[in-house]
Amino acid sequence: MTQSTKALNKLLKKKGISKDRAKEIKQERRTLKNRGYAANCRVKREEEEDQIKADIEVLKAKKAKLSEEIAQNGFEMDYYEKGNEELRRKLAVMDKEDQVLLFILFFVDSAISRVFYSFRLKRPR
């Protein structure tokens, strides 16, 4: 059980302990208290370090998942862009009367725009 400094001083005076011995007792008390504080600090630092390591692992997993999603969406975007380019080439060759191809081109173009918008990417033209 720890005593306040005031209570310790009173006890030392009451017991008639010499000043040199009282000084040694106080120094020992300070040393022991400091060890306790240092031990608590080490435990707290280790707990914080463990928590930070766990947080890092969670963030790494999230990063990997997002990277995979970005790659997948990039493949889909490439697929739609290639299809769009192919339709544009075909449309340039065909007559203006072929409205069906124009509709398909519009549909694919708007799908690509939605993909870019969902990732807030600037769409290249």
- Report pLDDT for 9: 82
pTM of the model: 0.47
Give the residue numbers spanning the domain of 100: 5-118
In which residue are the tokens 């000084």 written?
23
Q: Report the share of the chain in percent with pLDDT over 90.
A: 30
Q: Does residue 19 fall inside a structural domain?
A: yes
Q: Does residue 124 fall inside a structural domain?
A: no
The number of distinct structural domains making up the chain is 1
- The yes-or-no verdict on residue 99 having pLDDT over 70 is no
Q: Is residue 76 a contact partner of residue 115, using CB atoms and an 8 Å limit?
A: yes
- Report pLDDT for 88: 80
Q: Does residue 30 fall inside a structural domain?
A: yes
Q: Is residue 105 a contact partner of residue 87, using CB atoms and an 8 Å limit?
A: yes
